[in-house]
Amino acid sequence: MEIMEFCQKVKRSLAAGAGEGIKVSVKQITKNNGVVLHGITISKAGMNISPNIYLDGLYAAYEHGETFHAVMEEVMKIYEKSKVEASIDMSFFMDYGKMKEKVVYKVIGYERNKELLLQIPHILFLDMALVFYCHAPQKELDCATILIYNSHLKMWGVTKERLYWDAQNNTGAILPARILSIEEMMREVLSDNIAKNAPKEDAEEFGESGRMYVLGNEKKLFGAAAMFYDGVLDQFSEKMKKNFFLLPSSVHEVILIPDDGIQEPEELWKMVCEINETQVEPEEVLTDAVYYFSRKCKKIKKLF
């Protein structure tokens, strides 16, 4: 069974039990890096927002022997968790005067997103691009993010330069940067007893040979962009008193490795490529590259 056939089967099953005023649609949604995901949208009459339920993972489970009944149970669990009970007031998005305080940026790879970049305002940096979105926390949705397109600039009557200026002012304040040692990050991610009982590390103890650090933001959302915040990399290098390598872990985080003179850039590049291939979701990959920050020049350059 092909995935679109599977999606139609899920749609028919949902539609058969749907009440009046409920519409079920199959959608293909293009994400970062040109990744196409397949899913369904369950819309209620009179509502201006509907959850997307992605089916790619459930399709893979079904192809590996999961029953369709179990698939539908999981779909309903996801729907019950993600559905909203009332429309969301998004009128502010039509008025840039109200919207400008919510404009922030994230960073994506250039090569995998060439087609998308034709449609959206962006700032190129090496093989990456800063792109802009509206960060609008909503208690009903936790956080709504809306990618900004060229058509939005035309509607608002603002330039890309104005957008960038506002995003520069907002992003660090709305999504504050943070740097954790790899040990601290593991303790945060893991919940087993070994992690809980591990000896604590101090994130300010910079410069120990072989140590790695994770740069992101406090909300764990598109945190790789923190490497473009004013002063973040410069301050880190001054604390370590060293240059350092930057490894793009994902669009959400960057790994920082102090240059102790023992690291081989090509080996680091091979590691980035392998991790992107095997451990990072395709839509969350930033680039297959290794970067370097010079304490003297205070600039990022690409090595591989």
Residues 121, 285, 297, 173, CA torsion sign: positive
Contact predicate 103/166, CB 8 Å: yes
All residues at 6 or more sequence positions from 148 whose CB lies less than 8 Å from its CB, including other chains: 103, 120, 121, 131, 132, 133, 134, 163
Average pLDDT over residues 223-231: 96
269 contacts 217 by C-beta, under 8 angstroms:
no
Q: Token pair of 191, please?
A: 């919940």
pLDDT for res 142? 58
Do residues 175 and 219 make contact, with C-beta atoms less than 8 angstroms apart? yes
d(CA 165, CA 96): 13
| Confidence bin at 231 (pLDDT 50/70/90) | very high
Chain segment 24-47, per-residue pLDDT in tens = 999 999 999 999 999 999 888 777
Whole-angstrom distance, CA of residue 263 vs CA of residue 164:
35
**Which pLDDT belongs to residue 136?**
76
Q: What is the pLDDT of residue 93?
A: 86
CA 225 to chain centre: 10
Share of the chain above pLDDT 90, in %: 71
What 3 state SS string does the chain have?
CCHHHHHHHHHHHHHHHCCCCEEEEEEEEECHHHCEEEEEEEEECCCCCCCEEECHHHHHHHHCCCCHHHHHHHHHHHHHHHCCCCCCCCHHHHCHHHHHHHEEEEEEECHHHHHHHCCCCEEEECCEEEEEEEEECCCCCCCEEEECCHHHHHHHCCCHHHHHHHHHHHHHHHCCEEEEEHHHHHHHHCCCHHHHHCCCCCCCCCCCCCCCEEEEECCCCCHHHHHHCCCHHHHHHHHHCCCEEEEECCCCCEEEEECCCCCCHHHHHHHHHHHHHHCCCHHHCCCCCCEEEECCCCEEEECC
Inform me whether the pLDDT recorded for 85 exceeds 80. no
- Do 304 and 273 touch, CB atoms closer than 8 A? no
| pLDDT value for 139 | 56
- 39, 291 contact by CB (below 8 A): no
pLDDT digits (tens, 9 = 90+) for 61-81: 999 999 999 999 999 999 888
Higher pLDDT, 126 or 19: 126
For the segment 264-283, what is each residue's pLDDT rounded down to a tens digit?
999 999 999 999 999 999 99
pTM of the model: 0.84
State the chain's maximal CA–CA distance in angstroms: 67
Contact 242, 259 (CB under 8 A): yes
Question: 201: pLDDT confidence band, cut at 50, 70 and 90?
Answer: very low
pLDDT in tens, 143-177: 668 899 999 999 999 999 999 999 999 999 999 99
